[in-house]
Structure 1
Amino acid sequence: MKRWTKWIILLAIFIMSIINFADKSVTGLAGIHIMRDLNLTSTQFGIVGSSFFWLFSIVGIIGASISDRFGTGKLLAIMAIIWTIAQSMLLFVSSLPLLIFSRVLLGAGEGAFSATAVSHISKWFKPESRGLAISIINFGNVVGIAVTAPIVVFLISSYGWKQAFFIFGIFSFVWLICWLWLGRLKPPVSFEEEASKQENNLKINRKDIWKALQSPIFIFTTLSSFIAYSLIVFGLTFNPSYLMKVKGFSEQQSAIIIAISGLIGAILGMVLAIISDRLYKKTKSLWKSRILFTAICVILAGILYSMYPLVNGSGSIIIILSLVNTLVVTVNTLNPTVVISLLPQRRGVMTGTYYGVMSSSGIFAPIIFGKLIQASGTNPAGGFSTAIYGMAVAMVMAAILLFLFGRHKQPVSTENDKKLVNL
């Protein structure tokens, strides 16, 4: 197997990651047009945003678990098929129920993507280089929001929001055609799998999995990601409207702000991931290089996000959002590496459960945001600010809990593998 093969696979999943988050961002960017054409209230639009996550979390857990048995490559291909159908059908949507159905279908198709992508990549990259690999996937997530924002605005203004959805469905189909060849490539035996075959040939049973899922490390790592994901949900669903209705920017200006802050955040997030990787190589300690690193990022993100409603100039907003995006990207990069380390033989189950719980915040957050905004009446800024401050406080609290209960030398053992994870 040639050395560059793993980078080709990573590039393909990086592109799929761009499509994945571009699909999510279209609804928020087209929000004003959708609400006007379908005559929706803020609460109804919040339900539209929430509907994407109704099956997202459940399918994320089940799908990623199935990937352990049937293969991550096949599951990625199935996802691309569903994305194509879900996005293309919006060309014919003319009512709220059909719009919700299409979002539910897309959510079901995307639920297992992050866990499956991380699981697939972890077969190609060793632990000391996974931080960078996963950060590249996360970079694709941000690019999906940032780079596509101006494109989506252009498509909507030129052709209409329905046509914009349809075009992204075509992107998914083109990716699928390419993956039918790339997905056949087999990775080398990964670091953990090789060690596992040498030391232990027994299957991991349910008790082993349950012990790992009950560990304080898993619980509070996942909690921090759960809170951080609400920031992503707000950005996908309501942030474009916030920039236009409250901050006074035009549609194109809002798209540019989202694009610039997203790209800066993604690039800086990769830098922090590399620093974390180097720290891991030097110390071999998950506590110092991942968990403590993440706790610091979470608390800083909460503090910085609380400043968002207080700034108005485009430059100040870009700085705040760039720094917050950097820290959130880093959290989403490092936390999966912690989860995988708890039970590497069942990375699909571990990452699937992690992403499923994390993304479940998307079920409640959009509805809560929508109700807060609608309840503010003629003062939408008040509703938006309440939502933002609530997320900021929750981030700080999550960071404190992660620091207190995710402390080093927390043993995580299983019946079949008596080794303790060095945290």
Structure 2
Amino acid sequence: MTQAPLRTGPTRVRWLIIWVAFAGLTINYLDRASLSVALPFMGEDFHLSATQQGLVFAAFFWAYDLCQPVAGWYVDKVGPRRSFFLAAVWWSVFTAATSLARGFWSLVTMRFLLGVGESPAPSSAAKVVATWFPKHERGFATSIWDSGSRVGAVVALPVVTGIIALLNWHAVFVVIGAVGIVWAFVWWRIYRDPRQHPMANEAEIAHLEKGGARTAETDTADAQKIPWRSLFRYRTVLSMMFGFFCLNGVIYFFITFFPSYLVEERGFSLLDLGFYGSIPGLFAVLAGWSGGLLADRAIRRGASVTRVRKTVIVAGLCGGSLIMFAALVPEAWMALALLSVSYGSLTVAGTGIWALPADVAPSSKHVASIGGLQNFASNFAGIITPIVVGYLVDSTGSFVAPLLVIGALALIGALNYLLVMGKIEPLKLIATEPRPAGDPAT
């Protein structure tokens, strides 16, 4: 009996890892979006105005946002294996605990604690891409894990409405909390860094490092000297923070008030919401994957990273601004089509935005920190958008004004990336940067 030949080409462990990360982000967003789907049908237990609903949604983002800088630093400190595992356990526990809420303040408390637990998730995923993927594969890899947010929101509609129809709203949070606990232990079992992973061969590791994967082995001495606090001094980082704020200002409408918009403004029933309400999210997933693949292909063919990332982000934000026209068309199907194009375009922009931390980080120890900073700024939109949308709906009696406002915000974000952000490349040590004690001047 002859022995099978040993594999000489690169293994593909990185793709297994990114799909597991995708599953984690899907569960993460399922937990996050479940309340927005369930809340319109929780009227027997909660009698909340649109403004109160906005405050409940915002409670999550207060915690989620304020924890972002620390979460990014923590991911760089302990690595994505531990950070993602602990985050998933935490957010799953408080998702399940939401079933015990009995009033406005208990609901606010559960959402706040859920936000704390979910805060390390995106920086952990961005760190995984930086560690496990070369430059010309980051676009698609980023689109995979980032699409988990869309899939989670899409899955939330039929899953949550189905559980409510079969059982009650309390069961929704218990079931999806249990799913998150299971995923956490799967992640702990599967994830390792490349040189520690038993399934990755030397050919795959060489493929990663030659292609620009961000690992400790590829870091330069100067890059490692850049302290966390000095990241705020770089125009690139500040532009990333503001631009992502603009993107999330639109995206969080889909995560919070989108189901209520379809029910209250367009007259969707529970069945309509579960079926037709999934269309924008499904379109967004396909758009994001396509955008990531095309971006990687362009970089492999020699296009500069700066040109590719800016094209993807600016075009995506311009397409996202179409949300303002959804408020003006007379038919529900027209609004749904425009919302689908808007959400898909924003997703394409998001794949470029979340690839930026790996592109501009001065070293592997800065990737999640930069991701946390831009996510910190972006999620002020998660705090502001629900309150502004709720207030404008209560004041005007419709969703026209809020959709016009957030559509304009998308255009402002596009101008920021086009005109303010400079060349996309690893940040360099600023000449006046204080050196550690004992470090000789050069």
TM-score normalized by structure 1?
0.90
User: For the aligned residues, what is the CA RMSD?
Assistant: 2.4
- Amino acid in the other structure paired with 2:373: T
1:327 paired with 2:345, answer yes
Q: Report if aligned partners of 2:133, 2:213 keep a CA contact under 8 Å in 1.
A: no
Corresponding position of 1:414: 429
- Amino acid in the other structure paired with 1:107: G
Corresponding position of 2:180: 172
- Amino acid in the other structure paired with 1:393: A
- Name the structure with the higher helix share: 1
In structure 2, the gaps of 5 or more residues are 1-6, 198-204, 434-442
Corresponding position of 2:132: 124
Corresponding position of 1:421: none
CA-CA distance at 1:211 after TM superposition: 5.2
1:134-191 CA distance string (max 9 Å, x none):
1011222111111331111111122111210111101101112222311356454853
1:280 paired with 2:299, answer yes
Corresponding position of 1:38: 46
Distance in 1 between the 2:401 and 2:337 partners? Answer: 21
Task: Give the total of aligned pairs.
Answer: 410
Larger radius of gyration: 2
Q: Which residue of the other structure, out of 214, 220, 225, is the alignment partner of 1:205?
A: 225
Distance in 1 between the 2:306 and 2:139 partners? Answer: 14
1:318 paired with 2:306, answer no
Q: Which residue of the other structure, out of 346, 358, 369, is the alignment partner of 2:389?
A: 369
In structure 1, the gaps of 5 or more residues are 419-423
Alignment map for 1:19-418 (pairs within 5 Å)? 19-184=27-192, 186=196, 188=205, 190-191=208-209, 192=212, 197=217, 200-201=220-221, 204-207=224-227, 209=228, 212-302=231-321, 304-345=322-363, 346-376=366-396, 380-381=397-398, 384-408=399-423, 412-415=427-430
Q: Report if aligned partners of 1:56, 1:360 keep a CA contact under 8 Å in 2.
A: no
Identity of aligned residues (%): 21
313-322 or 140-149, larger mean C-alpha shift: 313-322
What is the SS of the residue equivalent to 1:100? helix
What is the SS of the residue equivalent to 2:105? helix
CA-CA distance at 1:196 after TM superposition: 6.8
Q: Report if aligned partners of 2:134, 2:213 keep a CA contact under 8 Å in 1.
A: no
1:48-104 CA distance string (max 9 Å, x none):
000001111122221121121211110111011112210111222112211111101
- Amino acid in the other structure paired with 2:368: G
CA-CA distance at 1:218 after TM superposition: 2.5
What is the SS of the residue equivalent to 1:21? helix
Distance in 1 between the 2:409 and 2:314 partners? Answer: 13
What is the SS of the residue equivalent to 2:136? helix
185-194 or 75-84, larger mean C-alpha shift: 185-194
- Amino acid in the other structure paired with 1:41: S
Q: Report if aligned partners of 2:141, 2:292 keep a CA contact under 8 Å in 1.
A: no
CA-CA distance at 1:400 after TM superposition: 1.7
CA-CA distance at 1:215 after TM superposition: 2.9
Judged with a 3 Å threshold, the aligned counterparts in structure 2 of structure 1 residues 202 and 234 are, in CA distance, closer, same or farther, namely: same
CA-CA distance at 1:212 after TM superposition: 4.5
- Amino acid in the other structure paired with 2:251: I
Q: Report if aligned partners of 1:276, 1:290 keep a CA contact under 8 Å in 2.
A: yes
- Amino acid in the other structure paired with 2:337: I
Q: Which residue of the other structure, out of 18, 21, 43, is the alignment partner of 2:26?
A: 18
1:380-422 CA distance string (max 9 Å, x none):
22xx111110001111122123211224489942159x9xxxx
CA-CA distance at 1:193 after TM superposition: 6.2
Distance in 1 between the 2:121 and 2:425 partners? Answer: 30
1:96-145 CA distance string (max 9 Å, x none):
21111110111111112111111123211111101100101122211111
1:215-243 CA distance string (max 9 Å, x none):
33332233222112122221121111111
Q: Report if aligned partners of 1:26, 1:152 keep a CA contact under 8 Å in 2.
A: yes
Distance in 2 between the 1:173 and 1:195 partners? Answer: 29
Distance in 1 between the 2:153 and 2:159 partners? Answer: 10
Q: Report if aligned partners of 2:130, 2:213 keep a CA contact under 8 Å in 1.
A: no
187-196 or 91-100, larger mean C-alpha shift: 187-196
TM-score normalized by structure 2?
0.86
- Amino acid in the other structure paired with 1:327: S
Distance in 1 between the 2:215 and 2:113 partners? Answer: 39
Q: Report if aligned partners of 2:92, 2:177 keep a CA contact under 8 Å in 1.
A: yes
Q: Report if aligned partners of 1:18, 1:142 keep a CA contact under 8 Å in 2.
A: yes
Q: Report if aligned partners of 2:89, 2:181 keep a CA contact under 8 Å in 1.
A: yes
Distance in 2 between the 1:163 and 1:264 partners? Answer: 29
Distance in 2 between the 1:312 and 1:266 partners? Answer: 27
- Amino acid in the other structure paired with 1:355: N
Judged with a 3 Å threshold, the aligned counterparts in structure 2 of structure 1 residues 146 and 410 are, in CA distance, closer, same or farther, namely: closer
